[in-house]
Chain A
């Protein structure tokens, strides 16, 4: 943004012409098709599109396997990061169950550090992933009734907590309510940051793990159907992250809990582990930008577009 709209006093100061095409190119590098991303267009599909919801059927067992793995990931073109992951990605996989399902997660630790999974929500205290760290090579079975309805983060809770989280051990758990939500085009966005040189500050910010990804590959949505975003903030080091939509408004429900009221806005802020459900009924087709309304985060990777199509 600075590159595109910066003042031109330097230019006028010595009266020579500045080739603007290179600045336009710079704008594209931050906001568009030229974004420094090497991953293919479908690289984040599994982290963006949640599995379909299932009808309410109390006691149904839903089994998942989560493996803690240390892995090198590429956050922005050319920059590698030694990530600690659930199932190889940062954020970890989307877990989706319905309220009153029996959530059964087999957790395998194939790293050199102890890890755990701490789910936000209601469950027995010994299923909380805090006092039961899982040693390297060991495994643990988390089993509890999924509640309350909404969207919740899960993350490792082994000290030093700051390191275990900033290295990537977190993800999204969707618990669908008894009364199904109306059909929508559903997306999951986990906002995060990466401190690649361990100086206690994030070098890059992303949604779902790759900086500028949705700037390079806009998310295609249809104008005829509501767009529903399960939004979670797992950013370490910064107190707040945020989501701002261009050229439209949306409704926002804290935690996605059905009893929470909806409010109307174009900008929401979340502290770490705060989450909610966003619903957008796009008024107009076209490219709608979305990004953190902390401009620093935008230009370090947290920006993207909805490509709203009339269909």
Chain B
């Protein structure tokens, strides 16, 4: 509280009577703006109609609602809706493909701001066909959502769990494991070539960060405005950036503590991350990205928007093999450290398994809000590991970004990601 004092003279001893008064004064000045703000808002909300009246008529609420999941079940179509308006909104009529349909709402049809409801529509739908669901408010405003193809909603069922898990393994764990098999080859490289590969890793991760950020904005655009815009994404990015940084600090500390004098020389440069710690941090960042990727695959499939063609799976798998390479590079850098097979497997699982979890979440309990947050978190994590890798490059290659090996490696990393992403479409 002392920091809020407005006095410029040297601060007196807080124990002295004069200091005590000053401290109370400090609290008074700290609270005064908040008290006044509350008062002013109170007065305004009592007379707001009069203030708006000075300008003209306050226009009526737009009364459009926002749609969540649309599920096709045996006894009909289930549609989740939210009221994003500041005023209450009442569901009055429902259409399927432009025809009025019987419906039930799980609760009052009048929704307060951000209230959610499920609308149940008994309807004999046809699997694989597109549908358009309209919901008309009591004021006659119709909101419409369309589904590319009706996919029977099965709930969480064993074959679905297995199917999504296999897809997750195929696009997540397997390519990362294959990429890690470059490790022995990388160990034979010269220091300069290895720095080039580090730059390549930085390029790969930069691509992933930007890709995830772009996805986050796409998902956020589907959210009702009331659920937050860029703030939500920035918060996700910042939390994961700081979180991954703290995690890799902790890993580094642990590595130094347990390995003692056997630690790689680079790790002893204390501030610069390296070796297993950096590889693990990168694996976590890639894992968070693969969570988002799995989420996207699961969701698109559940919404009937994605024909899971084998080419698409092949595309994702080829794309993700580069991620294994990214993890292997810092391991190769810490050559003296023996990397056990168990540790390699653990890294592959950290980076790849989240794709399975993502596919489950996307396929079974999808929400745009979750997707926005997940992609923001993936972007933050990837950005953090880019930062760490850059520091390592800085320490190992005094020539920095202008040296041909580093610049070329970085551009090659981005180019590889771009080209392989084209296969995935």
Q: Which residues of A contact B (CB under 8 A)?
A: 1-4, 6-11, 13-14, 16-19, 22-23, 25-26, 28-30, 34, 36, 75-81, 194, 196-197, 199, 203-204, 211-212, 296, 298-301
Pick from A22, A25, A78, A300: contact of B95, CB below 8 A: A300
9 contacts between A and B (CB under 8 A): A16-B74, A22-B122, A26-B123, A36-B93, A78-B109, A80-B140, A203-B136, A298-B99, A299-B100
Contact in complex: A80, B138 (CB < 8 Å): yes
Decide if the interface of chain B is mainly helix, strand, loop or mixed: loop
Contact in complex: A14, B152 (CB < 8 Å): yes
B126 lies within 8 A of chain A by Cβ: yes
Residues of chain B within 8 A of A9, CB atoms compared: 126-127
**Min CB distance, B101 to chain A, in Å?**
6
Contact in complex: A34, B140 (CB < 8 Å): no
**Min CB distance, A173 to chain B, in Å?**
29
Contact in complex: A197, B141 (CB < 8 Å): yes
Residues of chain A within 8 A of B268, CB atoms compared: none
Q: How large is the interface on B (under 10, 10 to 19, 20 to 34, 35 or more residues)?
A: 20 to 34
Q: State A298–B98 Cα separation when bound (angstroms).
A: 11
A-B contact count (CB 8 A): 119
B150 lies within 8 A of chain A by Cβ: yes
Contact in complex: A2, B75 (CB < 8 Å): no
Q: State A19–B124 Cα separation when bound (angstroms).
A: 10
Counting chain A CB atoms within 10 Å of each CB, the highest count among B75, B100, B141, B154 belongs to B100
Q: Mark B170-214, 1 if CB is under 8 A from A, else 0.
A: 000000000000000000000000000000000000000000000
Contact in complex: A6, B93 (CB < 8 Å): no
Residues of chain B within 8 A of A75, CB atoms compared: 140
Q: Which residues of B contact A (CB under 8 A)?
A: 72, 74-76, 90-93, 95-102, 109, 122-127, 136-142, 150, 152, 154
Contact in complex: A196, B142 (CB < 8 Å): yes
Q: State A19–B101 Cα separation when bound (angstroms).
A: 16
Residues of chain B within 8 A of A79, CB atoms compared: 92-93, 136-138, 140
Q: State A299–B134 Cα separation when bound (angstroms).
A: 13
Residues of chain B within 8 A of A36, CB atoms compared: 93, 100
Pick from A2, A7, A196: contact of B96, CB below 8 A: A2
Contact in complex: B136, A196 (CB < 8 Å): yes
Contact in complex: A30, B100 (CB < 8 Å): yes
Contact in complex: B74, A19 (CB < 8 Å): yes
**Min CB distance, A22 to chain B, in Å?**
4
Contact in complex: B126, A300 (CB < 8 Å): no
Contact in complex: B126, A29 (CB < 8 Å): no
Assuming the contacts A11-B124, A17-B74, asked whether A296 and B100 have C-beta atoms less than 8 A apart, the reply is no
Contact in complex: A3, B122 (CB < 8 Å): yes
Residues of chain A within 8 A of B139, CB atoms compared: 80, 196
Q: State A1–B99 Cα separation when bound (angstroms).
A: 9
Contact in complex: A2, B99 (CB < 8 Å): yes
